[in-house]
Protein backbone atom coordinates (compact mmCIF):
# COMPACT_ATOMS: atom_id res chain seq x y z
CA UNK A 1 0.00 0.00 0.00
CA UNK A 2 1.08 3.56 -0.61
CA UNK A 3 1.72 5.50 2.58
CA UNK A 4 -0.06 8.77 3.20
CA UNK A 5 3.33 10.47 3.55
CA UNK A 6 4.19 9.57 -0.02
CA UNK A 7 0.94 11.04 -1.26
CA UNK A 8 1.57 14.28 0.62
CA UNK A 9 5.11 14.33 -0.77
CA UNK A 10 3.94 13.68 -4.30
CA UNK A 11 1.29 16.41 -4.25
CA UNK A 12 3.70 18.81 -2.52
CA UNK A 13 6.39 18.20 -5.15
CA UNK A 14 3.99 18.82 -8.01
CA UNK A 15 2.63 21.89 -6.26
CA UNK A 16 6.12 23.32 -5.76
CA UNK A 17 6.85 22.87 -9.45
CA UNK A 18 3.68 24.71 -10.46
CA UNK A 19 3.66 27.38 -7.79
CA UNK A 20 7.35 28.28 -8.02
CA UNK A 21 7.10 28.39 -11.78
CA UNK A 22 4.11 30.67 -11.70
CA UNK A 23 5.55 32.99 -9.03
CA UNK A 24 8.86 33.18 -10.87
CA UNK A 25 7.13 33.67 -14.19
CA UNK A 26 4.98 36.41 -12.71
CA UNK A 27 8.02 38.43 -11.74
CA UNK A 28 9.79 37.61 -14.99
CA UNK A 29 6.68 38.76 -16.91
CA UNK A 30 6.62 42.03 -15.02
CA UNK A 31 10.21 42.67 -16.05
CA UNK A 32 9.66 41.47 -19.65
CA UNK A 33 6.56 43.63 -20.07
CA UNK A 34 8.44 46.70 -18.94
CA UNK A 35 11.40 45.81 -21.14
CA UNK A 36 9.20 45.15 -24.17
CA UNK A 37 7.40 48.46 -23.85
CA UNK A 38 10.50 50.51 -23.07
CA UNK A 39 12.53 49.10 -25.98
CA UNK A 40 9.56 48.70 -28.30
CA UNK A 41 9.87 44.95 -28.73
CA UNK A 42 6.41 43.63 -29.57
CA UNK A 43 7.76 40.09 -29.93
CA UNK A 44 8.24 40.00 -26.17
CA UNK A 45 4.59 40.90 -25.66
CA UNK A 46 3.72 38.04 -27.97
CA UNK A 47 5.84 35.78 -25.78
CA UNK A 48 3.96 36.95 -22.70
CA UNK A 49 0.66 36.26 -24.39
CA UNK A 50 1.72 32.76 -25.38
CA UNK A 51 3.52 31.93 -22.18
CA UNK A 52 0.73 33.49 -20.15
CA UNK A 53 -1.90 31.23 -21.70
CA UNK A 54 0.37 28.26 -21.13
CA UNK A 55 0.96 29.45 -17.58
CA UNK A 56 -2.76 29.67 -16.89
CA UNK A 57 -3.17 26.02 -17.66
CA UNK A 58 0.16 24.70 -16.50
CA UNK A 59 0.64 26.59 -13.28
CA UNK A 60 -2.50 28.32 -12.17
CA UNK A 61 -4.96 25.58 -12.85
CA UNK A 62 -2.85 22.80 -11.42
CA UNK A 63 -1.04 24.95 -8.87
CA UNK A 64 -4.25 26.40 -7.50
CA UNK A 65 -5.73 22.92 -7.07
CA UNK A 66 -2.65 21.19 -5.68
CA UNK A 67 -2.18 24.02 -3.15
CA UNK A 68 -5.41 23.26 -1.28
CA UNK A 69 -4.68 19.67 -2.30
CA UNK A 70 -1.76 19.65 0.15
CA UNK A 71 -4.21 20.76 2.83
CA UNK A 72 -6.56 17.93 1.96
CA UNK A 73 -3.77 15.36 1.85
CA UNK A 74 -2.21 16.62 5.08
CA UNK A 75 -5.62 16.63 6.72
CA UNK A 76 -5.84 12.87 6.36
CA UNK A 77 -2.13 12.16 6.82
CA UNK A 78 -1.42 14.44 9.76
CA UNK A 79 -4.59 16.10 11.07
CA UNK A 80 -3.12 17.42 14.30
CA UNK A 81 -0.04 18.68 12.51
CA UNK A 82 -2.08 20.75 10.06
CA UNK A 83 -4.39 21.79 12.90
CA UNK A 84 -1.42 23.16 14.85
CA UNK A 85 -0.39 25.21 11.83
CA UNK A 86 -3.91 26.42 11.10
CA UNK A 87 -4.55 27.49 14.69
CA UNK A 88 -1.32 29.46 14.83
CA UNK A 89 -1.28 30.90 11.34
CA UNK A 90 -4.89 31.17 10.20
CA UNK A 91 -4.59 34.92 9.68
CA UNK A 92 -1.32 34.53 7.81
CA UNK A 93 -2.97 32.03 5.49
CA UNK A 94 -5.96 34.34 5.14
CA UNK A 95 -3.55 37.15 4.24
CA UNK A 96 -2.00 34.93 1.60
CA UNK A 97 -5.49 34.24 0.32
CA UNK A 98 -6.06 37.98 -0.29
CA UNK A 99 -2.94 38.04 -2.47
CA UNK A 100 -4.05 34.83 -4.14
CA UNK A 101 -7.34 36.43 -5.17
CA UNK A 102 -5.54 39.49 -6.61
CA UNK A 103 -3.05 37.20 -8.35
CA UNK A 104 -5.74 35.22 -10.14
CA UNK A 105 -7.55 38.35 -11.31
CA UNK A 106 -4.16 39.71 -12.39
CA UNK A 107 -3.08 36.73 -14.46
CA UNK A 108 -6.31 36.69 -16.47
CA UNK A 109 -6.02 40.44 -17.10
CA UNK A 110 -2.36 40.23 -18.04
CA UNK A 111 -3.12 37.66 -20.70
CA UNK A 112 -6.49 38.79 -22.02
CA UNK A 113 -5.79 42.55 -22.02
CA UNK A 114 -2.39 42.36 -23.80
CA UNK A 115 -2.68 44.80 -26.72
CA UNK A 116 -6.08 46.09 -25.55
CA UNK A 117 -4.90 48.53 -22.87
CA UNK A 118 -2.20 51.20 -23.00
CA UNK A 119 1.42 50.35 -22.31
CA UNK A 120 1.62 51.82 -18.81
CA UNK A 121 -1.56 50.14 -17.63
CA UNK A 122 -0.47 46.76 -18.95
CA UNK A 123 2.91 47.18 -17.26
CA UNK A 124 1.22 48.14 -14.01
CA UNK A 125 -0.99 45.03 -14.12
CA UNK A 126 2.13 42.93 -14.67
CA UNK A 127 3.87 44.59 -11.71
CA UNK A 128 0.84 44.02 -9.45
CA UNK A 129 0.67 40.41 -10.58
CA UNK A 130 4.38 39.89 -9.94
CA UNK A 131 4.32 41.56 -6.52
CA UNK A 132 1.28 39.64 -5.28
CA UNK A 133 2.72 36.37 -6.51
CA UNK A 134 5.85 37.02 -4.51
CA UNK A 135 3.94 38.06 -1.39
CA UNK A 136 2.17 34.68 -1.43
CA UNK A 137 5.60 33.10 -1.20
CA UNK A 138 6.65 35.47 1.60
CA UNK A 139 3.72 34.25 3.68
CA UNK A 140 3.97 30.53 3.06
CA UNK A 141 7.72 30.37 3.68
CA UNK A 142 7.25 31.53 7.29
CA UNK A 143 4.74 28.74 7.89
CA UNK A 144 6.98 26.14 6.23
CA UNK A 145 9.88 27.27 8.41
CA UNK A 146 7.76 26.87 11.54
CA UNK A 147 7.16 23.28 10.51
CA UNK A 148 10.91 22.79 10.84
CA UNK A 149 11.26 24.82 14.02
CA UNK A 150 9.87 28.04 15.46
CA UNK A 151 11.58 31.19 14.24
CA UNK A 152 12.60 32.48 17.65
CA UNK A 153 14.19 30.33 20.33
CA UNK A 154 11.87 31.56 23.10
CA UNK A 155 8.63 30.98 21.15
CA UNK A 156 7.62 28.10 23.41
CA UNK A 157 7.55 30.58 26.29
CA UNK A 158 6.19 33.65 24.51
CA UNK A 159 3.90 32.12 21.88
CA UNK A 160 2.58 34.46 19.18
CA UNK A 161 2.85 34.51 15.41
CA UNK A 162 5.80 36.90 15.18
CA UNK A 163 8.19 34.68 17.12
CA UNK A 164 6.89 31.56 15.40
CA UNK A 165 7.10 32.96 11.90
CA UNK A 166 10.34 34.91 11.57
CA UNK A 167 13.79 33.43 12.09
CA UNK A 168 17.03 32.61 10.26
CA UNK A 169 15.51 29.53 8.68
CA UNK A 170 12.67 31.65 7.26
CA UNK A 171 15.00 34.00 5.40
CA UNK A 172 17.42 31.31 4.26
CA UNK A 173 14.54 29.28 2.88
CA UNK A 174 13.07 32.37 1.26
CA UNK A 175 16.37 33.12 -0.46
CA UNK A 176 16.71 29.54 -1.68
CA UNK A 177 13.14 29.28 -2.94
CA UNK A 178 13.31 32.70 -4.62
CA UNK A 179 16.42 31.70 -6.55
CA UNK A 180 15.20 28.26 -7.56
CA UNK A 181 11.80 29.58 -8.61
CA UNK A 182 13.63 31.65 -11.26
CA UNK A 183 15.51 28.51 -12.31
CA UNK A 184 12.18 26.76 -12.85
CA UNK A 185 10.80 29.79 -14.67
CA UNK A 186 13.75 29.68 -17.05
CA UNK A 187 13.36 25.94 -17.65
CA UNK A 188 9.60 25.96 -18.18
CA UNK A 189 9.78 29.20 -20.21
CA UNK A 190 11.97 27.28 -22.65
CA UNK A 191 9.05 24.99 -23.50
CA UNK A 192 7.18 27.94 -25.02
CA UNK A 193 10.20 29.83 -26.38
CA UNK A 194 11.36 26.60 -28.03
CA UNK A 195 8.31 26.63 -30.26
CA UNK A 196 9.04 30.09 -31.73
CA UNK A 197 9.62 29.92 -35.48
CA UNK A 198 11.49 33.23 -35.70
CA UNK A 199 15.12 32.36 -34.87
CA UNK A 200 16.10 35.91 -33.92
CA UNK A 201 13.22 36.05 -31.43
CA UNK A 202 14.08 32.61 -30.10
CA UNK A 203 17.72 33.66 -29.66
CA UNK A 204 16.76 36.86 -27.86
CA UNK A 205 14.40 35.22 -25.40
CA UNK A 206 16.41 32.02 -25.11
CA UNK A 207 19.48 33.93 -24.01
CA UNK A 208 17.52 35.98 -21.49
CA UNK A 209 16.11 32.77 -20.04
CA UNK A 210 19.56 31.15 -20.04
CA UNK A 211 21.16 34.05 -18.15
CA UNK A 212 18.27 34.10 -15.69
CA UNK A 213 18.62 30.34 -15.24
CA UNK A 214 22.40 30.29 -14.72
CA UNK A 215 22.45 33.20 -12.27
CA UNK A 216 19.48 31.89 -10.28
CA UNK A 217 20.82 28.32 -10.12
CA UNK A 218 24.19 29.50 -8.79
CA UNK A 219 22.57 31.80 -6.23
CA UNK A 220 20.14 29.01 -5.30
CA UNK A 221 23.02 26.58 -4.69
CA UNK A 222 24.67 29.14 -2.38
CA UNK A 223 21.37 29.78 -0.58
CA UNK A 224 20.95 26.03 -0.08
CA UNK A 225 24.21 26.03 1.92
CA UNK A 226 22.91 28.92 4.03
CA UNK A 227 19.62 27.06 4.53
CA UNK A 228 21.44 23.93 5.67
CA UNK A 229 23.40 26.00 8.21
CA UNK A 230 20.14 27.20 9.81
CA UNK A 231 18.77 23.72 10.52
CA UNK A 232 18.50 22.34 14.05
CA UNK A 233 21.13 19.82 15.16
CA UNK A 234 18.74 16.88 14.94
CA UNK A 235 18.02 17.72 11.31
CA UNK A 236 21.71 17.56 10.46
CA UNK A 237 21.94 14.12 12.06
CA UNK A 238 18.93 12.94 10.07
CA UNK A 239 20.42 14.37 6.90
CA UNK A 240 23.62 12.44 7.51
CA UNK A 241 22.11 9.19 8.67
CA UNK A 242 18.57 8.68 7.50
CA UNK A 243 18.17 9.96 3.97
CA UNK A 244 18.86 7.79 0.91
CA UNK A 245 22.46 8.11 -0.21
CA UNK A 246 21.44 8.97 -3.74
CA UNK A 247 19.71 12.22 -2.65
CA UNK A 248 22.82 14.45 -2.70
CA UNK A 249 23.83 12.95 -6.04
CA UNK A 250 20.32 13.57 -7.41
CA UNK A 251 20.38 17.18 -6.23
CA UNK A 252 23.80 17.77 -7.75
CA UNK A 253 22.58 16.19 -10.99
CA UNK A 254 19.62 18.58 -11.07
CA UNK A 255 21.78 21.66 -10.36
CA UNK A 256 24.63 20.58 -12.65
CA UNK A 257 22.24 19.47 -15.39
CA UNK A 258 20.39 22.78 -15.24
CA UNK A 259 23.65 24.75 -15.52
CA UNK A 260 24.80 22.69 -18.51
CA UNK A 261 21.40 23.10 -20.15
CA UNK A 262 21.41 26.89 -19.68
CA UNK A 263 25.01 27.20 -20.92
CA UNK A 264 24.11 25.13 -23.98
CA UNK A 265 21.05 27.20 -24.86
CA UNK A 266 23.00 30.43 -24.31
CA UNK A 267 25.83 29.35 -26.62
CA UNK A 268 23.57 27.66 -29.19
CA UNK A 269 20.01 29.00 -29.02
CA UNK A 270 18.98 26.51 -31.73
CA UNK A 271 19.15 23.86 -29.01
CA UNK A 272 16.29 25.60 -27.28
CA UNK A 273 13.50 23.25 -28.36
CA UNK A 274 10.32 22.43 -26.51
CA UNK A 275 11.18 18.74 -26.14
CA UNK A 276 14.52 19.39 -24.46
CA UNK A 277 13.02 22.05 -22.18
CA UNK A 278 10.23 19.60 -21.28
CA UNK A 279 12.82 16.93 -20.51
CA UNK A 280 14.72 19.40 -18.34
CA UNK A 281 11.50 20.18 -16.44
CA UNK A 282 11.11 16.47 -15.68
CA UNK A 283 14.78 16.28 -14.59
CA UNK A 284 14.28 19.19 -12.19
CA UNK A 285 11.07 17.58 -10.89
CA UNK A 286 12.55 14.12 -10.28
CA UNK A 287 16.15 14.89 -9.32
CA UNK A 288 15.66 18.30 -7.71
CA UNK A 289 12.22 18.87 -6.26
CA UNK A 290 11.34 15.32 -5.17
CA UNK A 291 14.50 14.76 -3.05
CA UNK A 292 14.29 18.33 -1.74
CA UNK A 293 10.66 17.97 -0.62
CA UNK A 294 11.22 14.48 0.82
CA UNK A 295 14.31 15.72 2.67
CA UNK A 296 12.42 18.73 4.05
CA UNK A 297 9.62 16.42 5.21
CA UNK A 298 12.09 13.98 6.76
CA UNK A 299 14.59 16.15 8.57
CA UNK A 300 12.05 17.66 10.91
CA UNK A 301 11.09 14.22 12.23
CA UNK A 302 10.08 13.12 14.79
CA UNK A 303 8.18 16.42 14.82
CA UNK A 304 5.74 17.59 12.18
CA UNK A 305 5.02 21.09 13.46
CA UNK A 306 6.82 23.58 15.66
CA UNK A 307 8.89 20.91 17.41
CA UNK A 308 5.94 20.01 19.64
CA UNK A 309 3.56 17.86 17.54
CA UNK A 310 5.00 14.41 16.97
CA UNK A 311 4.61 12.69 13.62
CA UNK A 312 2.24 10.19 15.29
CA UNK A 313 -0.04 13.12 16.23
CA UNK A 314 0.82 13.13 19.93
CA UNK A 315 1.60 16.48 21.56
CA UNK A 316 5.11 15.73 22.80
CA UNK A 317 6.15 18.94 24.49
CA UNK A 318 4.76 21.74 26.62
CA UNK A 319 4.33 25.08 24.88
CA UNK A 320 3.32 27.40 27.73
CA UNK A 321 3.24 30.42 25.43
CA UNK A 322 0.42 28.83 23.42
CA UNK A 323 -1.30 27.12 26.36
CA UNK A 324 -0.32 23.68 25.06
CA UNK A 325 0.63 20.83 27.39
CA UNK A 326 2.37 17.58 26.54
CA UNK A 327 0.23 14.46 26.32
CA UNK A 328 3.11 12.16 27.20
CA UNK A 329 2.50 12.15 31.00
CA UNK A 330 -1.14 11.22 30.44
CA UNK A 331 -0.17 8.38 28.10
CA UNK A 332 2.46 7.18 30.57
CA UNK A 333 -0.21 7.08 33.28
CA UNK A 334 -3.11 5.53 31.35
CA UNK A 335 -1.58 4.03 28.21
CA UNK A 336 -2.31 4.77 24.55
CA UNK A 337 -5.38 2.56 24.54
CA UNK A 338 -6.75 4.29 27.61
CA UNK A 339 -6.33 7.84 26.35
CA UNK A 340 -6.76 7.82 22.58
CA UNK A 341 -10.22 8.94 21.50
CA UNK A 342 -10.57 6.60 18.52
CA UNK A 343 -10.11 3.24 20.20
CA UNK A 344 -13.10 0.85 20.21
CA UNK A 345 -14.25 0.14 23.76
CA UNK A 346 -13.61 -3.61 23.34
CA UNK A 347 -9.91 -2.90 22.75
CA UNK A 348 -9.26 -0.49 25.59
CA UNK A 349 -8.46 -3.40 27.91
CA UNK A 350 -6.05 -5.98 26.52
CA UNK A 351 -6.94 -9.64 26.95
CA UNK A 352 -5.50 -12.83 25.54
CA UNK A 353 -8.31 -12.90 23.00
CA UNK A 354 -7.92 -9.37 21.67
CA UNK A 355 -4.15 -8.95 22.04
CA UNK A 356 -3.32 -8.92 18.32
CA UNK A 357 -6.24 -6.69 17.44
CA UNK A 358 -5.29 -4.29 20.24
CA UNK A 359 -1.73 -4.36 18.90
CA UNK A 360 -3.10 -3.46 15.48
CA UNK A 361 -4.97 -0.51 17.02
CA UNK A 362 -1.74 0.60 18.71
CA UNK A 363 0.21 0.29 15.47
CA UNK A 364 -2.42 2.44 13.78
CA UNK A 365 -2.33 5.26 16.31
CA UNK A 366 1.35 5.17 17.26
CA UNK A 367 3.21 4.02 14.14
CA UNK A 368 1.18 4.18 10.93
CA UNK A 369 1.81 7.85 10.22
CA UNK A 370 5.37 6.97 9.21
CA UNK A 371 5.33 3.19 8.86
CA UNK A 372 3.21 1.18 6.48
CA UNK A 373 1.46 -1.66 8.29
CA UNK A 374 1.53 -3.84 5.19
CA UNK A 375 4.61 -5.51 3.71
CA UNK A 376 5.06 -2.72 1.16
CA UNK A 377 4.88 1.09 1.08
CA UNK A 378 6.67 3.58 3.26
CA UNK A 379 9.08 2.10 5.82
CA UNK A 380 7.01 -1.07 6.51
CA UNK A 381 6.91 -1.74 10.25
CA UNK A 382 7.43 -5.49 9.95
CA UNK A 383 10.68 -5.07 7.99
CA UNK A 384 12.35 -3.65 11.10
CA UNK A 385 12.12 -7.06 12.72
CA UNK A 386 13.69 -9.49 10.28
CA UNK A 387 14.71 -12.92 11.50
CA UNK A 388 13.28 -14.97 14.35
CA UNK A 389 11.98 -13.02 17.31
CA UNK A 390 9.66 -13.69 20.20
CA UNK A 391 6.96 -11.37 21.51
CA UNK A 392 9.17 -10.74 24.54
CA UNK A 393 12.17 -9.74 22.35
CA UNK A 394 10.21 -7.24 20.32
CA UNK A 395 8.32 -5.95 23.30
CA UNK A 396 11.55 -5.32 25.21
CA UNK A 397 13.10 -3.59 22.19
CA UNK A 398 10.06 -1.33 21.70
CA UNK A 399 10.10 -0.19 25.30
CA UNK A 400 13.85 0.30 25.43
CA UNK A 401 14.03 2.23 22.17
CA UNK A 402 10.90 4.32 22.36
CA UNK A 403 9.91 5.07 25.94
CA UNK A 404 12.59 7.68 26.61
CA UNK A 405 12.30 9.73 23.41
CA UNK A 406 16.07 9.62 22.92
CA UNK A 407 16.09 7.59 19.70
CA UNK A 408 16.99 9.72 16.71
CA UNK A 409 14.11 10.32 14.30
CA UNK A 410 11.56 8.56 16.55
CA UNK A 411 8.90 10.11 18.79
CA UNK A 412 8.63 9.21 22.44
CA UNK A 413 6.16 6.32 22.62
CA UNK A 414 5.70 5.31 26.25
CA UNK A 415 4.13 1.85 25.86
CA UNK A 416 3.28 0.04 29.09
CA UNK A 417 4.11 -3.69 29.41
CA UNK A 418 0.76 -4.91 28.14
CA UNK A 419 0.71 -2.50 25.20
CA UNK A 420 4.28 -3.32 24.20
CA UNK A 421 3.43 -7.03 24.20
CA UNK A 422 0.27 -6.43 22.19
CA UNK A 423 2.12 -4.37 19.60
CA UNK A 424 4.86 -7.02 19.42
CA UNK A 425 2.27 -9.76 18.97
CA UNK A 426 0.66 -7.80 16.18
CA UNK A 427 4.00 -7.23 14.40
CA UNK A 428 4.80 -10.94 14.55
CA UNK A 429 1.33 -11.81 13.34
CA UNK A 430 1.59 -9.34 10.44
CA UNK A 431 4.96 -10.82 9.50
CA UNK A 432 3.44 -14.30 9.41
CA UNK A 433 0.49 -13.10 7.31
CA UNK A 434 2.82 -11.45 4.80
CA UNK A 435 5.06 -14.53 4.64
CA UNK A 436 2.04 -16.77 4.04
CA UNK A 437 0.72 -14.44 1.34
CA UNK A 438 4.14 -14.38 -0.33
CA UNK A 439 4.40 -18.17 -0.24
CA UNK A 440 0.97 -18.60 -1.79
CA UNK A 441 1.89 -16.15 -4.56
CA UNK A 442 5.07 -18.13 -5.30
CA UNK A 443 3.13 -21.40 -5.44
Partner 1 sequence: MSPEMLYALRDQAGVPAHPLIFLALGVLTFALHMVAVQVMLGAASLTLWGAFQRDQQWRRLASAMLTTAKIAVSVAIVLGVAPLLFVQVIYDPFWYTSNVLSAWWVIGFIITLIAAYIAMYVFYWQNPNIEAEGGHSGIWMVISLILFLTVGFIVHTLSQQMFYPEKWMSWYAPNGHIDPTGLKLHQWHASRYLFFIALSSPIAGAWLIAYRRYLLGAGEIDKGYLNFLKSLSFKLIFAGGLISTALGSAWMLSLPEKMTWFMGSVWMWIALAALMIIVALPWVLQNKLDKGFGGYAVFAGATISLIVIGTSREMLRFVTLNMAHQYNALDYRINMDWYSTVLFFGTFAIIGGTTLAYLLTVAWQAGQTKEGIYKPSQTITRLGQWSVGLLVAWTLSYFAVGFWVWAR
> In whole angstroms, how close is the CB of 92 to partner 1 at the nearest point?
6
Does 73 bind partner 1 (CB under 8 A)? Our answer is yes
Print the binding letters for residues 74-103 with partner 1: x by CB under 8 A, - otherwise: -xx--xx-xxx-xxxxxxxxxx-xxxxxx-
> In whole angstroms, how close is the CB of 227 to partner 1 at the nearest point?
15
Which of positions 385-404 make contact with partner 1 (CB under 8 A)?
A: none
Residue-wise DSSP of 137-195: HHHHHHHHHHHHS-SSTTHHHH-SHHHHH-SHHHHHHHHHHHHHHHHHHHHHHHHHHTT
Print the binding letters for residues 196-215 with partner 1: x by CB under 8 A, - otherwise: --------------------
Does 29 bind partner 1 (CB under 8 A)? Our answer is no
**Stretch of 159-167, 260-268, 274-282, 409-417 lying at the interface with partner 1 (CB under 8 A):** 159-167
Q: Which is nearer to partner 1, 68 or 256 (CB)?
A: 68
Does 323 bind partner 1 (CB under 8 A)? Our answer is yes
> In whole angstroms, how close is the CB of 138 to partner 1 at the nearest point?
5
DSSP conformational letter for 270: G
> In whole angstroms, how close is the CB of 357 to partner 1 at the nearest point?
7
**Stretch of 154-162, 210-218, 262-270, 272-280 lying at the interface with partner 1 (CB under 8 A):** 154-162
Distance between CA atoms of residues 19 and 42, nearest Å: 27
Among 170, 185, 208, 312, binds partner 1 (CB under 8 A): 170
Q: Which is nearer to partner 1, 153 or 282 (CB)?
A: 153
Does 285 bind partner 1 (CB under 8 A)? Our answer is no
Residue-wise DSSP of 38-49: HTT-HHHHHHHH
Which of positions 287-316 make contact with partner 1 (CB under 8 A)?
A: 315
Distance between CA atoms of residues 248 and 261, nearest Å: 20
Which of positions 342-381 make contact with partner 1 (CB under 8 A)?
A: 342, 344-347, 357, 360-361, 364, 368
Among 23, 187, 238, 319, binds partner 1 (CB under 8 A): 319
Nearest to 216 by CA among 253, 247, 262: 262
Q: Which residues pair with 324 in a beta bridge?
A: 319
Instruction: Give one word for 293, left, alpha or beta, with left for phi > 0 and alpha for psi -120 to 50.
Output: alpha
Residue-wise DSSP of 398-442: HHHHHSSS-STT-------HHHHHHHHHHHHHHHHHHHHHHHHHH
Does 171 bind partner 1 (CB under 8 A)? Our answer is yes
Residue 189: count of CB within 10 angstroms of its CB: 29
**Stretch of 60-68, 195-203, 242-250, 429-437 lying at the interface with partner 1 (CB under 8 A):** 60-68
Handedness of CA 391, 332, 301, 378 (dihedral sign): positive
Among 69, 175, 291, 302, binds partner 1 (CB under 8 A): 69
> In whole angstroms, how close is the CB of 283 to partner 1 at the nearest point?
23
Nearest to 411 by CA among 340, 331, 338, 344: 331
Q: Give backbone dihedrals phi and psi of 231, rounded to 5 degrees, phi first.
A: -80, 150
Amino acid sequence: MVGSGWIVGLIATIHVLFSHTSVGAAIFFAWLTQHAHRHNKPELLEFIKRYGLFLLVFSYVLGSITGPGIWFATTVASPRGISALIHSFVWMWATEWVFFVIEVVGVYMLVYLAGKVDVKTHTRIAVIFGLTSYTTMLVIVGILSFMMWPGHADWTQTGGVLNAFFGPNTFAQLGMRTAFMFTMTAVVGGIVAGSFKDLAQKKLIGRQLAVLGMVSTLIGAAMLQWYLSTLPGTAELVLDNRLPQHFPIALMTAVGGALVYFALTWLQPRFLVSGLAGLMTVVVLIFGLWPEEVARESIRKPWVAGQYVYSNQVIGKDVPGAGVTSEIPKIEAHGFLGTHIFIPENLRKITAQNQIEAGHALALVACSNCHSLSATGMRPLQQYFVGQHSVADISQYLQAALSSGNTLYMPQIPLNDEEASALAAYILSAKKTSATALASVKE
